[in-house]
Amino acid sequence: MKIDLKATTARSLLIVLFVLILLGAGAGFYAGLSIVRESAIEVTHASEDASAGNNQVAGLQALQKQLEQTQMLVQKADTMFAPAADYQRSVLTDLGVYAAAAGITIVNTEFGEATPAPDSATGETRPVTITLAQPVSYVSLLRFLQLTEGSLPKITVTGVSIGNIGGDRINVDPITLRISVK
């Protein structure tokens, strides 16, 4: 079968084919452009989500670090108070260590009733009266008082009365202390 094409018919057919190809290419380009735009939007959203996730992770890490620091401060604050349940044993042990380090001897210890702590919203203080073996070296007494005041749990000297008997030796009336307990 032979098709008889004239130049004008062939030209018209070529023009129609060329227009159809151009329209198909335009439609394909538009469809491709739409797919690329959708992909770009998805990538942008994923990038923003990842950035927000990184910011949240960084924020959570900062909060965790702050929590650890706060926990350390709470633990440090807890050391300032003797546990109320066994504070007497703890105080006797601590005072014995301080007395031995200062070179003095505690001969009697009396524990009093609890009172609310005047400078603390939590906890209470308990009075303790100690009697030292007489006479005592003035330097040893000062060292004992320094160790006691710097202790944890907090022991505060609230009353001490001394009398000089000559030289470095002094008589010390019973010393009143306050123990911070919770």
Q: What is the pLDDT of residues 108-162, one digit of tens each?
A: 988 887 666 555 545 677 888 999 988 888 888 889 888 888 877 677 888 888 8
Q: What is the pLDDT of residue 54?
A: 78
pLDDT over 90 at 15, yes or no: yes
User: 């942008």: which residue's tokens?
Assistant: 44
pLDDT in the model for residue 72: 79
Q: Model confidence at 31, in pLDDT bands (50, 70, 90)?
A: very high
Q: In degrees, to the nearest 5, what angle opens at C-alpha 75 toward C-alphas 73 and 77?
A: 70
Instruction: Note the pLDDT of residue 68.
Output: 84
Q: Report pLDDT digits (tens) over 49-98.
A: 888 877 788 888 888 888 888 887 777 666 656 666 677 888 888 888 89
Residue 85 CA: distances (Å) to CA of 77, 82, 89, 96, 143: 18, 9, 9, 19, 29
Distance CA 87, CA 91 (A): 6
- Residues 148, 157 contacting (CB under 8 angstroms): yes
Higher pLDDT, 105 or 179: 105
pLDDT in the model for residue 120: 52
Is residue 179 scored above 90 in pLDDT?
no
What is the model's pLDDT at position 30? 94
